[in-house]
Amino acid sequence: MNDFDQSFLEFQATRQTRSSAEHWLATFEAALATKDAEQIAALFHQDSHWRDVLAFTWHMTPVAGRAIIAARLAAEQTRTGAHGFHLPPNRRQPRRAKRLGIESIEAIFEFKTNIGRGAGIVRLSPDDDEGGAMKAWLLSTTLEALDGHEDKIGANRPTGSAYSRNFGGDNWADVRRKASAYEDREPTVLVIGAAQAGLSIAARLNQQGVDTLVVEKWPRIGDSWRKRYHSLALHNSIHLNHLPYMEFPPTWPKYIPKDMLGLWFEFYAQVMEINCWTDTEFVGATWNDTEKSWTARLKRGDGTERVVRPRHLVFANGVSSYPMLPDVPGLEDFKGEVIHSEGFDSGAGWEGKKAFILGTGSSANDIALDLHSHGVNTTLIQRGSTTVVSINPSARLNEAVWDEGGALEDCDLIVASAPPPLVLKAYKAVVQRMLELDKDMIAGLKRIGFKHDIGDDETGHQMKYYRRGGGYNLDAGSSDLMIKGELGLLQYDRIERFTAGGALLKDGSTVPADMIVLATGYYPQVELVRRALGEDMVERVGQVWGIGPDGELSNMYKRTPQQGLWFIAGGLAQCRINSKYLALQIKAMELGELGPL
């Protein structure tokens, strides 16, 4: 076959792929218009999945099984009025892709609803029971924008005329100072925390025209990263970690050091015109059900207190909250230094000393590497089994969608399309590949008595993160040092108690130490709610983070049982993706399009 013939066949295949996607979308739109569940069901495989993000259900809604999918779509269509399904020319074009072992046509589409614009993914494969007809085994629908309130970007960007030639009046800097002071108004939204979650949601809300104030307890934006241990860098690649609207410079390293990230956060807040009060601690808040607003107390760095009355309160201060200090027998007798990992900076100054690290998660192992590099005799103490994954190549397997290239917006849409059952199935498959790639490391760890696992249901470290926020190590080299004996490993169940000089083992011997680092994790975010909003609010809201009954994250990025209370957390990619949907819900509530749960 010559080059011309090959090109012609590829052209024909591409045209057929596009034609199949267009035909399915047209048939789907016609079936939706009838609101006939049987007609809709005929377009899906028996084993199929739909995830809706706000477009039809105003919620993050996973649905499984074609009969249930069809019934729900038919019921929601009266309110939604979805129409105008098409393949947009400016997005990734339909293509053949293998997802979860299924050879599929994968197409990005866009559509309209009664109130806005949506986008989604459909994956089609032949139904052998019906003559090979192309049917959907996955459908996702997401709300992307509200009519008349689209992001002010590109051709829709502001002109700047309000101050560019306002001779004798306020210039841009004057406008920003006044906007950030809140001397003559209340913020509509108060966001607690100015790291990736807080900055992402504030940037999104700014684009929606929702007046937003962010408060940060540290003196500078980015300090929440700067003040972490000296050697910290991100464990996933730069190309999936961009913040909304503004990508990292192409000259930056693949794994961003913490101080670079802190610098970027500070810069980002300025150029995205985010109103932020640093050196300001959120003390607590109460909800006024008559006024439908919060009374929030803020303690400023100068000792003064300010009360603000926002309609929305967004907790954006991480998956976890306060450091967890375990009840360890004899720890109070230890005469050396005891420090939680949150307060650890560097091993400098501890050269020649002996250190214990209680824990074997990522922070524990990174701190062990830092101490080891400073000549500290370091031993990790393992309390429970740990999932260990090499940063490269294994952890990078979860970056596969972004590795495929294409626009970040398209990759994010693909990630947002995955319903919980398929997420679990994908992680199980990825874990098996990780076990192959890391088999020598895992075998070496087990050989020295390290307790290793791959999660309760073999879904690995990612589901541990979603379920409990820890229990794994993205390995940066500490495992090899443990296997070689250059880092010590001690099982906690061998310890009788800690003493003034170290650890007394059950066999009567003592392992000396000068320092103990408690890499023992944090209380879940609900503890922050308890201390800031009270026990009654904890009872009302329930679990925050962790997996809910529907398989989605509990109370994250969506309405909660308490009106005006929202949560956003996670890695940079999670915050970038889900901040869009959280901002749309808040805007819709401000417009009267969406009520409380």
pLDDT tens digits for range 67-87: 999 999 999 999 999 999 999
Q: So what's the pLDDT on residue 410? A: 97
Residues 341-347, mean pLDDT to the nearest whole number: 92
Confidence grade of residue 523 (pLDDT, cut at 50, 70, 90): confident
Average pLDDT estimate for 424-430:
96
Mean pLDDT of 439-468: 96
Listed residue (425, 356, 522) closest to 99, CA to CA? 425
CB-based burial, 33-44: b 16+ in 10 Å, e otherwise: eeeebebbbbbb
Q: What is the mean pLDDT of residues 313-330?
A: 89
Is a pLDDT exceeding 70 seen at residue 442? Answer: yes
Those residues with Cβ within 8 angstroms of residue 256's Cβ, 6 or more apart along the chain or in another chain: 233, 234, 238, 241, 248, 264
Secondary structure (3-state) at 559: coil
Tell me how far apart the alpha carbons of residues 53 and 420 are, in angstroms, rounded to a whole number: 13
Percentage of the chain surpassing pLDDT 70?
97
Beta partners for residue 285, in sequence order: 296
Examine the pLDDT at 182 and tell me if it is beyond 60: yes
Characterize the bridge pairing of strands 337-340 and 275-277: unpaired
What is the band of 7 on the pLDDT scale with cuts at 50, 70, 90? low
Instruction: Give yes or no for residue 173 having a pLDDT over 80.
Output: yes
What are the backbone angles phi and psi of residue 20, rounded to the nearest 5°? -65, -45
Beta strand segments in 7-148, E: 44-53, 60-64, 83-86, 95-99, 102-112, 116-127, 133-146
Q: Is residue 416 very low, low, confident or very high in pLDDT (cuts 50, 70, 90)? A: very high
Query: Does the fold of domain 171-321+525-591 match that of domain 17-146?
Result: no
Of 513, 150, 589, the closest CA to residue 350 belongs to 513
Residue 544, pLDDT > 70, answer yes
| pLDDT band of 438, cuts 50, 70, 90 | very high
CA atoms of 199 and 274, how far apart (whole Å): 8
Give the N- to C-terminal CA distance of the chain in Å, as an integer: 62
Q: Judge if the upstream peptide bond of residue 393 is cis by omega within 30 degrees of 0.
A: yes
Exposed e or buried b for every residue in 263-273, given b needs 16+ CB within 10 A? bbbbebbeebe
The CATH number, out of the four listed (3.50.50.60, 2.40.30.10, 3.40.190.10, 3.40.50.9100), of the domain defined by the range 325-520:
3.50.50.60
Q: What's the pLDDT score for residue 525?
A: 86
Per-residue confidence band for 229, with pLDDT thresholds at 50, 70 and 90: confident
Which class would CATH give 17-146? Answer: alpha beta
Gap between the Cα atoms of 513 and 353, Å rounded = 8
CATH number of 171-321+525-591: 3.50.50.60
Instruction: Give dist(CA 273, CA 73) in Å, integer.
Output: 40
Q: Output the pLDDT for position 245.
A: 97
Predicted confidence band of residue 156 (pLDDT cuts 50, 70, 90): confident
What pLDDT, on the 0 to 100 scale, is given for residue 163?
A: 63
Residue 217 one-letter amino acid: K
Residue 170: the pLDDT is 85
Whether 577 has a pLDDT exceeding 60, the answer reads yes
Instruction: Check residue 240 and give its pLDDT.
Output: 94
Confidence of residue 232 (pLDDT cuts 50, 70, 90): confident
List CB contacts of 425: < 8 A, sequence separation 6 or more: 100
| Residue 547 DSSP one-character state | B
Whether the per-residue pLDDT at 548 is higher than 80: the answer is yes
Q: What are phi and psi of 138, to 5 degrees?
A: -145, 135
8 Å CB contact between 44 and 24: no
Q: Could you give the CA distance from residue 370 to residue 478 in angstroms, rounded to a whole number?
A: 10
pLDDT band for 165, please (50, 70, 90 cuts). Answer: low
For all residues of the chain together, what is the average pLDDT? 94
Would you list the domain boundaries of the chain? 17-146, 171-321+525-591, 325-520
Which band of pLDDT confidence, cut at 50, 70 and 90, is reported for residue 230?
Answer: confident
What average pLDDT does this structure show over 323-332?
Answer: 92
Q: Which amino acid is at 424?
A: L
From the list 379, 373, 561, 543, the residue with the least C-alpha distance to 469 is 543
pLDDT of residue 385: 97
Please name the residues in contact with 464: beta carbons below 8 A apart, sequence gap of 6 or more.
Answer: 387, 455, 470, 471, 472
pLDDT value at residue 258: 95
* Of the listed ranges 10-24, 51-65, 118-132, 360-374, the one predicted with least confidence: 10-24
For 238-262, what is the HEC assignment?
HHHCCECCECCCCCCCCCCEHHHHH
C-alpha span between 374 and 414 (Å, rounded) = 43
pLDDT score of 485: 97
User: How far, in Å, are 361, 362, 502 from residue 378 at the CA level?
Assistant: 15, 15, 13
Rg, Å, the chain Cα set: 26
Q: In the chain, count of helices (H) and strands (E)?
A: 18, 27
Whole-angstrom distance, CA of residue 280 vs CA of residue 503: 41
Instruction: Give dist(CA 378, CA 344) in Å, integer.
Output: 14
pLDDT for 6 equals 58
**What are residue 305's phi and psi, to 5 degrees?**
-125, 140
Instruction: Select the highest-mean-pLDDT range: 3-7, 340-344, 514-518.
Output: 514-518
What is the reported pLDDT for 21?
A: 97
**pLDDT confidence of residue 297:** 98
Poorest-confidence range of 6-15, 23-32, 453-462, 509-518? 6-15
- pLDDT, residue 2, reads 62
Residue 3: what pLDDT?
61
pLDDT classification of 121: cutoffs 50, 70, 90:
very high
- Higher confidence at residue 361 or residue 528? 361
pLDDT(581) > 80 = yes
